[in-house]
Amino acid sequence: MITADLGMQTTQQLISALEGRRGRGQLESPQQLRAALMEELEQLLTLDRRPLSVESSSPYVIMVVGVNGVGKTTTIGKLANQLTQQGKKVLLGAGDTFRAAAAEQLTIWGERAGVEVVRHQEGADPGAVAFDAAKAAVARQADVLILDTAGRLHTKLNLMEELKKLRRILEREIPGAPHETLLVLDATTGQNALNQARLFNEAVAIDGIALTKLDGTAKGGIVVAIAAELQLPVRFVGIGEGVDDLRPFEPAMFVEALFEN
Task: Return the pLDDT at 76.
Answer: 96
Domain ranges of the chain: 54-258
Task: Return the pLDDT at 178.
Answer: 97
What residues have CB less than 8 Å from 13, skipping those under 6 apart?
228
Task: Return the pLDDT at 109.
Answer: 94
Task: Return the pLDDT at 219.
Answer: 63
Low-confidence ranges of the chain (pLDDT < 50): none
Task: Return the pLDDT at 52.
Answer: 84
Task: Return the pLDDT at 154.
Answer: 55
Task: Return the pLDDT at 4.
Answer: 73
Question: CA-to-CA distance for 36 and 215, rounded, in angstroms?
Answer: 27
The domain over range 54-258 is classified in CATH as 3.40.640.10: no
pLDDT in tens, 45-74: 887 667 788 999 999 999 999 999 899 999
Q: Are 223 and 236 in contact (CB under 8 A)?
A: no
pLDDT in tens, 106-142: 999 999 999 999 999 989 999 999 999 999 999 999 9
Bond preceding residue 51 cis, omega within 30 of 0 = no
Task: Return the pLDDT at 132.
Answer: 98
Strand partners, 62: 146, 180
Model pTM score:
0.90
Task: Return the pLDDT at 141.
Answer: 97
